[in-house]
């Protein structure tokens, strides 16, 4: 059976992806900081789908341990999914560097740290799939979340460059932009239904994108149109908007 490594495995989106891949008969390595929670997810998936599920401790911001983390993985995965992230608070981050750093470190630096190592190994093996959960927030900076958005913009650009680099090695890189998703991270937000999806739909979109070797997907296609409009607005107009 192929193996998938899911980094940030306790998020709602990650759990949906884990179930989707388990249903496709992938063995799983579920990695995150909350080991008790991972072990509960592990037992549920093993019972439901009859696949092997291994829990592993992983912290996106302890960069010096990322090399050992991969070396201690018994089976190198065919698929690696980066699901970890930290939305943070924009207003707090504007005044508090620790908050700003946490947003940048988790969403960008941590992702680059681990994926640099993953990419090197997949390049040697000349096979593999890397999936990065980015965000529409990175398509253009808005005052309501530009620190988070800037980290996701960097991640999207990183994935694009990685895709370009690894193409000749037979390694595929998929960038996923879910838009608004009903998760624990967004439970206190008033999300517009037309632009909002579920973790399960994100997972199914990823599964379909893997089969079709898609490069970048907006989970709800309406986001593609919305972001084209937003990106095309002249800066003289855009800077006056309350977004």
Chain centroid, CA 32 distance in Å: 13
pLDDT in tens, 86-144: 999 999 999 999 999 999 999 999 999 999 999 999 999 999 999 999 999 999 999 99
Q: How high is the mean pLDDT of the chain?
A: 96
pLDDT in tens, 217-232: 999 999 999 999 999 9
| Residue 206: strand, helix, or coil | helix
For 92, residues 6+ apart whose C-beta sits below 8 A from its C-beta are 99
CA distance 175 to 152: 11
pTM value is 0.95
pLDDT in tens, 42-98: 999 999 999 999 999 999 999 999 999 999 998 999 999 999 999 999 999 999 999
Closest residue by Cα to residue 4 from 131, 152, 139, 155: 131
Determine the pLDDT at residue 192: 86
Assess contact for 114 and 62: CB atoms under 8 A. Answer: no
What percentage of the chain carries pLDDT values higher than 70? 100
Q: Which residue out of 26, 148, 158, 180 is catalytically annotated? A: 148
Is 218 annotated as catalytic? no
pLDDT in tens, 5-28: 999 999 999 999 999 999 999 999
């Amino acid at each position: 059976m192929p193996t998938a490594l899911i980094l940030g495995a306790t998020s709602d989106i990650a759990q949906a992806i884990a179930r989707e891949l388990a249903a496709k008969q992938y063995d799983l390595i579920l990695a995150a900081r909350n080991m008790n929670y991972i072990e509960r997810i592990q037992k549920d998936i093993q019972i439901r789908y009859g696949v092997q599920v291994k829990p592993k401790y992983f912290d996106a911001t302890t960069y010096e341990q990322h090399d050992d983390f991969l070396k201690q993985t018994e089976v190198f995965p065919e698929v690696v999914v980066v699901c970890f992230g930290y939305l943070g608070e924009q207003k707090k981050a504007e005044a508090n560097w620790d908050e700003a750093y946490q947003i940048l470190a988790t969403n960008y630096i941590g992702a680059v740290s681990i994926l640099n190592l993953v990419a090197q190994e997949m390049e040697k093996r000349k096979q593999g799939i890397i999936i990065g959960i980015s965000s529409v927030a990175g398509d253009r900076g808005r005052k309501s979340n530009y620190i988070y958005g800037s980290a996701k913009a960097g991640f999207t650009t990183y994935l694009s460059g990685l895709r370009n680099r690894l193409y000749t090695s037979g390694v595929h890189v998929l960038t996923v932009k879910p838009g608004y998703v009903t998760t624990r991270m967004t439970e206190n937000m008033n999300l517009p239904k037309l632009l909002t999806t579920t973790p399960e739909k994100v997972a199914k979109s990823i599964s379909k994108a893997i089969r079709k070797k898609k490069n970048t997907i907006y989970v709800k296609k309406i986001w593609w149109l919305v972001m084209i409009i937003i990106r095309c607005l002249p800066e003289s107009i855009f800077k006056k908007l309350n977004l």
